[in-house]
Amino acid sequence: MDKLRAAKGFICDMDGVIYHGSQILPGVREFVAWLYKENKQFLFLTNNSGKTPRELAEKLARMGLEVDEHHFYTSALATASFIASQRPGARAFVIGEPGLYNALYEKGITLDDVDPDYVVIGESSSYNYENICKAVHCVQNGARLIGTNSDLTGPTDQGIMPACRAFVKPIELVTGKQAYYIGKPNPLMMRTGLNMLGVHSREAAIIGDRMDTDIVAGIESGLDTVLVLSGVSDRKTVETFPYRPRLILNGVGDIPPAL
């Protein structure tokens, strides 16, 4: 735990680490209090594209946890920044939630379901056959396919449910085009997170519940890696990957007592 104690910055996943759906996980309040007490720089870096940082802050507030919105960064924000840097003033057909639409709007990206430059897919409760067909048509006509993140599943109050990559896959299969995924473990998202923290990767740790996004992102970006078993991965899951986290904990609540 000495290396974790010495870390100046913490990048934390949210779904499966901080909460499941609308239920805050055990020990989270104590962990966040410890971050503030020790004056650690921290960022909640989530692949979920559905909510804005303000909405995420309000969600935690409803659970009794006050965290300022500048501590949040989402795959929606990363996706909007990427598209704006690649093609300023781009047009996009979007399947997603308000957090994604808002991020794209803030970067000057126009919604267009007729002749878009990009098809952008995030988590969405409005995902349906009509939208899939429209997305397929746009990609077949030359639009670039973007996924906000590569998560296949995610933890919810009802258990493990489909996530972004599950929504993108039918479009990939029909068009033969592979999506470019922006969220973790893409280094674009990790570099932005470290820049927001203002710390070097050697001085930071990532805490997540997924081996295929959080832990591999940390390893490839040079961060200390902490897997918590409160979300998707368990100890058997770890054995199926060719890499390992440095620490495996039951949840973030294990950290303050140990330190």
**pLDDT tens readout for residues 143-168:** 999 999 999 987 777 777 889 999 99
**Domain contains 60:** no
Rg (Cα) of the chain, in Å, rounded?
A: 18
Give the containing element (helix H, strand E) for 36.
helix 28-37
List all residues 6 or more positions away from 9 whose beta carbon is below 8 Å from its beta carbon. 40, 41, 42, 43, 194, 197, 198, 199, 203, 204, 205
In the prediction, which pLDDT does 259 show? 59
How many C-beta neighbours within 10 Å does residue 233 have? Answer: 23
Last residue of a domain, one of 117, 151, 181: 181
In the prediction, which pLDDT does 54 show? 97
In the prediction, which pLDDT does 29 show? 95
Go through the chain and tell me how many residues it has: 259
Last residue of a domain, one of 163, 181, 199: 181
Report the CATH number at residue 174: 3.40.50.1000
In the prediction, which pLDDT does 207 show? 97
pLDDT per residue over 129-147, tens digit each?
999 999 999 999 999 999 9
Q: Considering the entire predicted model, what is its pTM? A: 0.92
Contact 75, 148 (CB under 8 A): yes
Our count of domains for the chain comes to 2
Question: Active-site residues: which are they?
Answer: 13, 15
**Domain contains 130:** yes
Last residue of a domain, one of 134, 155, 181: 181
Give per-10-residue mean pLDDT for the chain (259 aa).
86 94 92 95 95 96 96 97 97 97 98 97 93 97 97 79 94 98 94 95 95 95 96 92 96 82
In the prediction, which pLDDT does 110 show? 97
Residues 40 and 128 in one domain: no
Tell me the two tokens of residue 112.
Answer: 């267009």
Which domain covers residue 133, as residue numbers?
A: 76-181
Residues 90 and 132 in one domain: yes
**Domain contains 59:** no
